Every structure is written in structure tokens, then in C-alpha cells.
Amino acid sequence: EAFVSSQGALVVGVTTKKEFLAATVPDLTLLDSLWHCLDLCYMAARRPFGHNQLSVFIDGHQKLVAAMKFPALTEPFVLCTVGAAAARNYQPNQTRSDKSPSGIMERGIFPSIISQVPNYFSLPLRSSTPLDPHVKNFPPGIQDTIFGPPSSLQGQLGLICLFHEALQQHQIKTLFDAGPNCRLLFSPEDNAEMLVMNSKLVWCFAPAACWDGSCLDLAATNKFSAQALARQCHTR
């Protein structure tokens, strides 16, 4: 999941059975009343025991590269929500001991958490070390305590796409230069770069292809359906 915290930071999170990993994008600048292009790229390790990589691009510029664990991307795609508050289905482990871990001061503390959570010492700590300094790990199920309760995105959404391969930086720049009303991605005959990206689409949705709450999948495979629960508007 990706969300904007109450402090205005963009956070990319991954939930596993054992932990919640959060990568925070440094020096983030998202301005009101302006369109922004956000790209999240996940690249699996290319060799055994290698690290997966997360890259975050904003407005065509790379803002974060971090080694981060995440589940295998070969599993079937089930559900995605964009702009809506994330639903939590975490069930706490009943066999886990309620005793606080020993040696809290010896294990160290996160300054960023101290400023956000007043009762920090009441939270359980993880002794394992994240793969990257930009990534913090927490016990699963306490995301809302640390980052605040989830809420719906306030603003407007343009083109939303999922690709089965990570895009290259020049491809991301091409998407940004095309603007929020880009139609070349799903009619790419006159643009070779868009034609390559079109072949990598898993699904693609756009406000112009929504009607009465239903959204048409503009990818060539047209495998997925979507519903728009927010108010629909068109811009020029």
C-alpha cells in the first residue's frame, strides 16, 4: 500500500505475516491544486539471496530507491483500491507472548516514532534489522497507531495503471510529459514508446472511460472490471 501520512510524507508499506515494512520518501513536495505523477516500481531480486528493490518516482524524477522485502509478484491479482481507505484484515497471533521484549534501550529507538506516538514505549519493538535505512519495520497490526487511521484521498485522480514489469526511468518521464489526460497509452499506434508500455499493461483505468460508476479496462487484455465510488468529473 501507499499513503500520505498526516505529516505529509509519502509512505509505501508492505504487510507480511510477521511484520509491517514502511519506506518513507524523503523531501516530498506535493502541492495542492497541481497534478502530480506518482510511479511505484517493484523489482524482484535477479539472483538468489538478492534484495528486492522499490523505486519511487514523482513527476518523472526518482525520489527513493530502497531494498525492501515484498511478496512474490507472480501470485494472482485479486483486489486493488485507489484513493479509498485501506481495509485491515490482520488477525493478531494469539500465541504471541504479551511480555515486553527485554533490553529496549539496548536495541535502540526510532526518533521518527517518538515524535508521532506519545506512548511509544508501550509499543512492541522488532529486533530484526531492515534491509535499508529508508525502511522501518514494525509488528503487524499497529500501522494505524503509528501513522494514524486511514482515510480517503481528497483530490482528483487521473490515469491509473498497473504494469507487469517495472518501467525504465525514460518511460516514466514519457508518461509524466504526456500529462494527466494522456490517451496515447491505450491508443499508441503513433508512439513507439507508448506501444511498448501498452504491451506491459495488466490493467488501465481513466476517468474518461467511466460511466455510471463502472470503469472500462483500457488494457488490451481487458480482464478486469472496476467501480468508481467517488464523484466523477472531467478536465481539459
Q: What is the largest CA-CA distance in the chain?
A: 63
Domain boundary among 113, 132, 154: 154
Say yes or no: 138 and 204 in one domain.
Answer: no
Residue 94 lies in a domain: no
pLDDT in tens, 105-132: 333 344 444 344 444 444 444 445 556 8
Contact 168, 194 (CB under 8 A): no
Q: What are phi and psi of 196, to 5 degrees?
A: -65, -45
pLDDT in tens, 178-226: 888 777 777 767 778 888 898 999 999 988 888 888 999 999 888 888 9
Q: What is the rounded average pLDDT of the residues 157-171? A: 91
Cell numbers that stand for 130 in this block: 531492515
Residue 112 lies in a domain: yes
Q: CA torsion angle for 216, 221, 225, 231 (degrees, to 10)?
A: -30
Amino acid identity, residue 39?
A: D
Cell numbers that stand for 1 in this block: 500500500
- Show the domain range for 110: 1-87+105-154
- pLDDT of res. 95: 38
Contact 52, 70 (CB under 8 A): yes
pLDDT in tens, 4-61: 887 778 999 998 888 999 999 988 777 778 889 999 999 988 887 778 899 999 999 9
Say yes or no: 81 and 50 in one domain.
Answer: yes
Cell numbers that stand for 226 in this block: 472496476
